Structure 1
Amino acid sequence: MNVRAGERIAPLPRGRSARIGGLRVGYEVRAYFRQTDTLFFTFLFPVLMLAIFATAFSSQSFGPADATISAAAYYLPGMLAAGILLSGLQNLGVDIAVERADGTLKRYAGSPMPIGSYFMGKMGQVAVTASLQATVLILVAWAVWHVELPSTAQAWATFAWVFVLGVSCSAVLGIAVSALPRSGKSAQSVIVPIALILQFISGVYIAFDVLPEWMQQIASVFPLRWTAAGMRAVFLPTAFEGAEPGGTWALPLVAIVCSVWLVVGLVVCALTFRWNPKDR
């Protein structure tokens, strides 16, 4: 469909936007799994890192003497949190920046597709891929390294809301940071280091309590540190709670900080998102 400059596109019938958005989710998920580099560095990367840590520290036990666990069990919460960050912030940030640079977004702007349907497709892709990734991580940890999984409904309910809030926050922030790269070629070099640094200072690869206090304070500003804490509250024994800052999982703070960042991300998206980079 060709649209002349200045011509207004008639609004779609009510319900069509949601239907198009649903179709976009399927399209985005298929496109995601067709990209070998994205599949490895985003979807399988946390699984690979879990395998490396579980194997490298297989002879060690973690935690207090009366509640020690294996390396696989210890690193599983962090890898789940990292997967949420990679699926949302890193993947969407790079993906949208490339689409803006190569003119894909500009072509979408000239089509009848509502902007809401576009975002629905992107958010849906993150929800689907992050859910599949978390399932693979948990099943691999359970089947290969015999990690004991939570046995109470309360624990799984906590996992559900931390996961949903973390995915929503990460996806919105991914859309927001997509405005940072000045070109498609620089998208990886701008966004990937941000995701990597956040993982190292947020208790994903290094125990949060052994990090310098100033680094803990910086990490506590960002949502990944709290998503990782929420996952530790679900998958680690209660004896590990004493190692957290303040000696508590601080689940209310997990909800507050991630919710604040979700709102901040939405505001930034509204202020900075443009179909065309020349519109900045």
Structure 2
Amino acid sequence: MTTAAALPGTLSLGLSRGATELREFFRQKENLIFTVSLPAILMLLLGTVYVHEAAAGQMFAASMIGAGIISTSFVGLGISVVADREDGTLKRLRGTPMPFTSYFIGKIILVFVSSLFEAALLMVVAMLKFDVELPSTAEKWFTFGWVFTLGVISCSLIGVGLSSIAKTTRNAAGVLNLPYIVLQFLSGVFISQAVLPDSLRITGSLFPLKWVCQGFRSVFALNDGYAAMEAAGSWELGKIALVLGAWTIAGLLLVSRTFRWTNAHN
């Protein structure tokens, strides 16, 4: 008498799916170059115009690293899920033993790896073009690590949740890019939140982008005096962790309620 082999667990299926996502991502050279290099190109163009001193370079580079990571996790991943739904990939996966949790683990692995490549490229560009100094202490790199992790996870989940609104990748680009572009201006990426009207500053503070960029600015700041340039006059690291943690929970709830395998509403 033979016994059926046990099915792989959710995590192992997710890791396997992550490996598949990475293989497909690195095979698509054009997509790889565009995804990883676009934030660096924007940094070069905008930095050349706006950055005229070392202090501004440090803060601008930190904000652009945060914005680049959010672009990959929120916009890029959201569009990717819509594409999988549109071309039937999700429908095929639904017929396999893979739960949707494993599918998301695979996607987040992809976002983590691509975001790390992107962040590394942005750091190199910032050092070469704007003489930016990298963090010099383990404490600052630890802060970079947890801000990066919470930022990627929370924004990935939000992007996946909002992707349910769009039926095509063309629609998804508009649905996801519009709030991302607006929030860059409200979150201290291009201009300091301290100079914004209270209504715009409060609006920007409701969303993760502001807190991710602020966390990275705390990492790249050459001294604590840079915190005075923030709207609150301090780095607020505890608040950053709370806000990003709350958005992670909200993203999980959003995905659990809105995710669908196909575009059919039944």
Asked if these proteins are the same fold (TM beyond 0.5), I'd say yes
User: Cα–Cα, structure 1 residues 201 and 35, in superposed 2: closer, same or farther, change >3 Å?
Assistant: farther
Among 241, 256, 259, the residue aligned to 1:270: 256
2:115 aligned with 1:127 = no
In structure 2, the partner of 1:168 is 153
Residues 37-73 of structure 1 deviation map (CA, whole Å, 9 limit, x = unaligned): 6435532122111111332245x22xxxxxxx25432
Alignment of 1:47-126 (within 5 A): 47-57=40-50, 60-61=52-53, 69=54, 71-126=56-111
Alignment of 1:108-257 (within 5 A): 108-237=93-222, 238-257=224-243
Seq. identity, %? 35
| Conserved 8 A contact 1:84-1:170 | no
CA distance in 1, matches of 2:137, 2:204: 30
CA distance in 2, matches of 1:12, 1:268: 34
TM-score, normalization: structure 1?
0.86
1:215 to partner: Cα distance: 0.6
Residues 83-142 of structure 1 deviation map (CA, whole Å, 9 limit, x = unaligned): 121111101111111221232211111123332321111010011111111112112322
In structure 1, the partner of 2:35 is 42
| Conserved 8 A contact 1:75-1:205 | yes
Runs of 4 or more above 6 Å deviation: none
Please say which of residues 209-218 and 109-118 is displaced more in the overlay.
Answer: 109-118
TM-score, normalization: structure 2?
0.90
Structure 1 alignment gaps of length 5 or more: 1-10, 62-68
CA distance in 2, matches of 1:245, 1:134: 25
1:267 to partner: Cα distance: 0.3
In structure 1, the partner of 2:15 is 22
Please say which of residues 180-189 and 11-20 is displaced more in the overlay.
Answer: 11-20
| Conserved 8 A contact 2:14-2:106 | yes
**Corresponding residue SS for 2:23:** helix
**Corresponding residue SS for 1:277:** coil
1:196 to partner: Cα distance: 1.2
CA distance in 2, matches of 1:155, 1:14: 42
**Corresponding residue SS for 2:264:** helix
- Aligned amino acid, residue 240 of structure 1: Y
- Aligned amino acid, residue 135 of structure 2: P
Report the aligned-residue RMSD.
2.1
| Conserved 8 A contact 2:192-2:230 | no
1:13 to partner: Cα distance: 2.5
In structure 2, the partner of 1:5 is none
- Aligned amino acid, residue 254 of structure 2: V
In structure 2, the partner of 1:258 is 244
Please say which of residues 158-167 and 46-55 is displaced more in the overlay.
Answer: 46-55
CA distance in 1, matches of 2:212, 2:11: 29
**Corresponding residue SS for 2:64:** helix
- Aligned amino acid, residue 245 of structure 2: S
1:255 to partner: Cα distance: 0.6
Matched length: 262
Structure 2 alignment gaps of length 5 or more: none
CA distance in 2, matches of 1:232, 1:168: 19
